[in-house]
Amino acid sequence: MRTQVGIIGAGPAGLLLSHLLHLRGIDSVVLEEREEQYVRRRVRAGVLESTTADLLREVGLGARMDREGLVHKGISLHFDGEDHYVDFERLVGRTITVYGQQEVVKDLIDARRRAHGQLLFEVRDTAVHETGSDRPRITFTDAEGRPQELVCEVVAGCDGFHGVSRKSLPQNELTVYDHTYPFAWLGILAKAAPVRDELVYANHERGFALYSMRSPEITRLYLQVDPEERIEQWPDERIWSELHTRLPALAEGPVLEKGITAMRSFVASPLRHGRLFLAGDAAHIVPPTGAKGMNLAVADVWLLASALSELLLHNNSALVESYSDTALRRVWRAEHFSWTMTSMLHRQPGATPFERQLQLAQLRYTASSTAAATSLAENYVGMPLTSPL
């Protein structure tokens, strides 16, 4: 098998990269270890920055998002027993859109199918070879159990934190920045009509909580918990009791899904070795507090698609040479914002009364200062993709 770009991973990063390359006349093959129905169903992030939503519209992927997505003009910070509204539209003239990552993935798969794109699901034993040459190879076993080899001009690693791509870079050339937070999120998806129009981030003495939604019928809710806790320790009744304690009024309903997710920040550098490039969660992880994970992946592949187009169509390597440094500037901005939101909103284990008052002081300042609220709004809705940061 031959193609111009071999893409490992059929998440938002890999699928969008394939779509962007197709629009530029560049062939690609996407390899994914999971079955297609699993990829279509897996629930992940749900907040699209204005820059992400604009890009999806620009490349012909915005129709269903505009019909079904929920446009939010701001968020509420809930502390001191009160809501404090941060009005994004007034402060920076932009909004966010709540539209689940799985919905973006469905739109991308359907678009690639219409364009007869090559999407190979249920592959295994994937390995990357000869990335220092101009003909790197990907070997794998296909869904029928047959060994295969894909010869490419470029390999894009979009296979997430646990994938093979980052491990295929020379480890002695890779610098890793890793931070694990001393708490986790317990998340539920509930069949309950949202009673709020927009997201609520709550700082409570018992811990952080987040009120969000996925549709006019589905609510997404989160609780800060100890990372050592197991989901079996949280029956539905306990979850709802704790949510009512930490959040303003909310409606209950049948719990459709629940799970506990660890919180970490992670960055690998550089994002390139020879003709192997990393994008999305294969390169970096952010805590979900700042709603940056999928949006960073989109920004990565927007940049990478332009760089690969210059390389493959015009034999110009300038953008691929600068890809890692340019992408990492945006990554570190998002890492800092996500760390700031996480630190400001979560109960810190072992925090002294002095440290607790400092946290509340930061929240009060953010809610009362136009300058501080504008900084939060600008970061939350997303910097322009052309911003040098």
Looking at residue 44, what is its pLDDT?
74
Q: What angle do CA 340, 343, 344 make, to 5 degrees?
A: 85
Of 263, 287, 304, the position where a domain reaches its end is 263
Q: Are 79 and 363 in contact (CB under 8 A)?
A: yes
**385 domain-assigned:** no
| Beta-bridge partner residues of 118 | 29
Dihedral sign of CA atoms 117, 280, 9, 12 in order: negative
Q: Do 168 and 19 sit in the same domain of this protein?
A: yes
Q: Do 109 and 133 sit in the same domain of this protein?
A: yes
Q: Do 189 and 160 sit in the same domain of this protein?
A: no
Mean pLDDT by 10 residues, the chain (389 residues): 97 97 98 95 85 97 96 97 97 96 95 97 97 95 97 97 96 96 96 93 96 90 96 97 94 95 96 97 96 96 97 96 97 97 95 95 97 98 80
Task: Give the orientation angle of helix 353-368 with respect to helix 370-381, to 10 degrees.
Answer: 90
Q: Do 205 and 324 sit in the same domain of this protein?
A: no
**194 domain-assigned:** yes
Q: Do 327 and 205 sit in the same domain of this protein?
A: no
Q: Do 215 and 341 sit in the same domain of this protein?
A: no
Q: Are 88 and 73 in contact (CB under 8 A)?
A: yes
Range of the domain at 20: 5-46+100-174+270-348
Q: Are 209 and 223 in contact (CB under 8 A)?
A: yes
Q: Do 110 and 33 sit in the same domain of this protein?
A: yes
**86 domain-assigned:** no
**60 domain-assigned:** no
**147 domain-assigned:** yes
Q: Do 20 and 115 sit in the same domain of this protein?
A: yes
The CATH number of whichever domain residue 128 belongs to comes to: 3.50.50.60
Q: Which residues contact 129 (CB under 8 A, 6 or more apart)?
A: 136, 137, 138, 139
Of 263, 298, 333, the position where a domain reaches its end is 263
Q: Do 195 and 157 sit in the same domain of this protein?
A: no
Looking at residue 388, what is its pLDDT?
61
Of 239, 263, 287, the position where a domain reaches its end is 263
Q: Do 139 and 275 sit in the same domain of this protein?
A: yes
Looking at residue 364, what is its pLDDT?
98
Q: Do 106 and 140 sit in the same domain of this protein?
A: yes
CA gap 92, 49 in Å, rounded: 13
The CATH number of whichever domain residue 256 belongs to comes to: 3.30.9.10
**77 domain-assigned:** no
Give the residue numbers annotated as catalytic, written as ranges.
Answer: 72, 201, 288, 292, 380
CA gap 159, 139 in Å, rounded: 15
Q: Do 315 and 274 sit in the same domain of this protein?
A: yes
Q: Does residue 211 sit in helix, strand or coil?
A: strand
**114 domain-assigned:** yes
Looking at residue 389, what is its pLDDT?
58
CA distance readout (Å), 41 to 35, 214, 298: 10, 13, 19
**10 domain-assigned:** yes
How many domains would you assign to the chain? 2
